[in-house]
Amino acid sequence: MKTSSLVASSLVLFACGGSAPPAAAPAAAQTAAASPASPGTFAAQAQAGQELYAKNCAGCHGAHGNDGKAPPVVGLDKGALPLDPPPTAKFRKSQFKTVGDVADFVVKTMPPKAPGSLSADEYYAILAFDLQANGIDLGDKKLDGALAATLEIPRK
């Protein structure tokens, strides 16, 4: 499977059906510039994202990304991260064609009690962890908005 297809399948961890109203994206999440302390590789991002996921995501999506009360974010073959919003989605109105589409939605709506509250580096670290949980490895690339926009989510 192509890296871009694999990467997209990992974004399922961000695909909550919408449990909070959209908020304006924070300035930190809108900038592509990395802070000096931000991880420089995908592996380092995923490592940093593991703790962030546990703190900000696992309470709804589950420790494994498919065992919580919120829609699963791991397992495209089991219906995670559908292209179209589910009929029951409260706030998601757009399709998830690329990893960037999912990232945009997550920044505006997650975590449900504090949407947009994380930095861009933190959102992409969580996304890297999610991708890795789905068996995706981007090697020496760093996941950011520009790369995410080019990664298509695979569909069967």
Q: For 33-46, what is each residue's pLDDT tens digit?
A: 444 467 899 999 99
pLDDT digits over 60-103, tens only? Answer: 999 999 999 988 888 877 878 889 998 988 778 999 999 899 89
**Alpha carbon distances (Å) from 82 to 15, 31, 64, 73, 77:** 8, 27, 18, 10, 10
Tell me which of 9 and 49 has the higher pLDDT. 49
Predicted local confidence at residue 120, as pLDDT: 95
DSSP helix/strand/coil, 40:
coil
Predicted local confidence at residue 99, as pLDDT: 87
| pLDDT-based confidence at residue 136 (cuts at 50, 70, 90) | confident
Predicted local confidence at residue 3, as pLDDT: 47
In this predicted structure, the answer to whether residue 127 has a pLDDT above a threshold of 80 is: yes
Tell me which of 153 and 16 has the higher pLDDT. 153
Q: Residue 26 contacts by C-beta under 8 Å, 6 or more apart in sequence?
A: 107, 116, 117, 118, 119
Specify the range with the lowest mean pLDDT, choosing from 29-33, 121-125, 128-132: 29-33
- Whole-model pTM: value is 0.76
Average pLDDT over the chain, rounded to an integer: 78
Domain formed by 3-26+38-150, architecture: Orthogonal Bundle (1.10)
Cβ neighbours of 37 (radius 10 Å): 7
Residue 37 is given by DSSP the state T
CB distance 65 to 12 below 8 Å: yes
Residue 34, exposed/middle/buried by CB under 10 A (0-12, 13-18, 19+)?
Answer: middle
DSSP helix/strand/coil, 27:
helix
Cβ neighbours of 22 (radius 10 Å): 16
Return the domain boundaries, the chain. Answer: 3-26+38-150
Instruction: Output the CA torsion 89→97→119→44 (10° steps).
Output: 120
Predicted local confidence at residue 124, as pLDDT: 95
The answer for 81, left when phi > 0, alpha when psi is -120 to 50, beta otherwise, is left
The whole-number average pLDDT for the span 39-56 is 95
Distance of CA 107 to the CA centre of its chain: 9
Tell me which of 12 and 116 has the higher pLDDT. 116
In this predicted structure, the answer to whether residue 149 has a pLDDT above a threshold of 80 is: yes
